[in-house]
């Protein structure tokens, strides 16, 4: 086996010392902009937010519904807080822009909406002449016509509304200065409302969503504060049960189901309920802070629409979409470097300095002559 003399060892170490920083520099360049920071909660699919088309009219506290892959933004308020809108806007995600839809017969804010088939039901809210309303109107999206339907048994605004198995559920809301626990079910086939088991926790500005054959009543305003309460209604038994509380108290917010999970959004908070583990988890934050936004799902994309900016308060036209997958690669700015590249470069420089010390000590080691002694 060949033996290396001290000078040979020194030259070899110098060569290795030069190769390590070169490798580090190569890794730094190769990983530049390739290692994004995590953008989804543990156990959740990776997602990212993208900008969507703006509404023509900034609005908040409105109704949303989806029919045939199109999102309907219905009524709400804008500018002056007493300004009730009758306008309707429709987003076709494939076309990438909002278009005007059939206006409601009367402007309403704090209403809620749900769709069964091709018909959208706009329920409750407040009008210019009524602080709380029992109005129910139906939009036939095939003809573009609104018609009056049987009114709510009790007037209210800020209620939770959702559809399940061909019926509409109207839950809670605000009336006579307090949150209420009213629970009414509408059957479009008979144009008739029936009263069901009352909501255990009276509240308003809550959200109702269907999941796995049951209805989840989420958050809302309770005892002068936003609440994290979750209560679950089973239509088969007409009973309510306590659900897992949200990790963030929410009121006047938006929520929808995407991929079998509930996504709830308020300000920049984005939390997700996974029924498989019965847990809420923080997910990719919403880019724009806001409340009173509409939230809807089309296909594998969730949309956050309009709403009111927090401080100072003003209504927003923006739409942001939570799309599946990681953030697409974009060219890094000049002179930028990813964290992985910086780490690789630092390791290369550190290794070089260490080896220079070793080489220096090796080459300066005193030599002993065979004749010495």
Question: Quick one: pLDDT band at residue 261, thresholds 50, 70, 90?
Answer: very high
CA distance linking residue 98 with residue 81, whole number of Å: 23
pLDDT at 334 over 80: no
Tokens of 292: 């009173």
What pLDDT sits at residue 313? Answer: 85
Pick the more confident residue, 45 or 194: 194
CA distances from 338 to 12, 70, 223, 335, 348 (A): 32, 39, 48, 10, 16
Q: How large is the average pLDDT for residues 276-286?
A: 96
What pLDDT sits at residue 372? Answer: 35
Residues 17-69: pLDDT tens digits?
444 544 444 444 444 433 344 466 777 888 999 999 999 999 999 999 999 99
CA distance linking residue 80 with residue 89, whole number of Å: 20
What pLDDT sits at residue 326? Answer: 83
CA distances from 148 to 104, 137, 139, 188 (A): 10, 5, 9, 12
In this prediction the pTM is: 0.79
pLDDT at 191 over 50: yes
Displacement of CA 64 from its chain's centroid (Å): 15
Peptide bond into 312 cis (omega under 30): yes
pLDDT at 155 over 60: yes
If you ran DSSP here, which 8-state letter would residue 60 be given?
B
With CA atoms as reference, report the closest residue to 276 among 44, 48, 46. 44
CA distance linking residue 78 with residue 61, whole number of Å: 9
What are 64's strand-pairing partners? 73
Tokens of 110: 């704090």
Torsion over CA of 32, 33, 39 and 43, rounded to 10 degrees?
-50
Q: How large is the average pLDDT for residues 101-122?
A: 98
CA distance linking residue 124 with residue 113, whole number of Å: 9
What pLDDT sits at residue 213? Answer: 98
Q: How many residues does the chain have?
A: 373
């Amino acid at each position: 086996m060949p033996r290396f003399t001290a000078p040979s060892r020194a030259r070899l170490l110098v060569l290795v010392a030069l190769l390590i920083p070169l490798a580090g520099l190569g890794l730094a360049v190769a990983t530049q902009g390739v290692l994004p920071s995590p953008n989804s909660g543990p156990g959740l699919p990776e997602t990212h937010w993208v900008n969507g088309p703006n509404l023509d009219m900034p609005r908040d506290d409105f109704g949303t519904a989806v029919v045939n892959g199109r999102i309907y933004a219905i009524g709400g308020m804008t500018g002056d807080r007493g300004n009730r809108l009758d306008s309707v806007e429709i987003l076709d995600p494939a076309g990438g822009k909002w278009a005007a839809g059939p206006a409601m017969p009367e402007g309403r804010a704090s209403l809620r909406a749900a769709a069964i088939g091709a018909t959208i039901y706009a329920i409750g809210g407040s009008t210019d002449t009524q602080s709380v309303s029992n109005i129910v109107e139906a939009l036939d999206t095939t003809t573009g016509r609104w018609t009056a339907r049987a009114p709510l048994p009790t007037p209210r605004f800020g209620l939770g509304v959702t559809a399940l198995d061909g019926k509409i559920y109207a839950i809670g809301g605000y009336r006579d200065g307090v949150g209420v626990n009213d629970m009414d079910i509408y059957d479009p086939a008979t144009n008739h409302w029936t009263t069901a088991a009352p909501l255990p926790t009276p509240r308003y500005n809550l959200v109702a969503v269907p999941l796995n054959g049951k209805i989840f009543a989420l958050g809302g305003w309770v005892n002068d504060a936003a609440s994290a309460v979750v209560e679950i209604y089973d239509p088969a038994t007409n009973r309510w049960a306590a659900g897992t509380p949200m990790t963030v108290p929410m009121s006047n917010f938006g929520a929808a189901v995407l991929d079998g999970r509930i996504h709830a959004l308020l300000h920049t908070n984005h939390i997700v309920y996974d029924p498989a583990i019965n847990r809420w988890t923080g997910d990719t934050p919403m880019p724009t802070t806001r409340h009173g936004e509409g939230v809807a799902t089309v296909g594998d994309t969730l949309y956050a629409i309009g709403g009111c900016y927090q401080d100072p308060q003003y209504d927003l036209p923006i739409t942001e979409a939570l799309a599946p997958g990681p953030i697409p690669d974009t060219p890094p700015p000049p002179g930028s470097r990813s964290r992985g590249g910086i780490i690789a470069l630092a390791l290369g420089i550190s290794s070089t300095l260490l080896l220079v010390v070793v080489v220096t000590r090796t080459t300066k080691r005193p030599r002993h002559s065979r004749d010495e002694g």
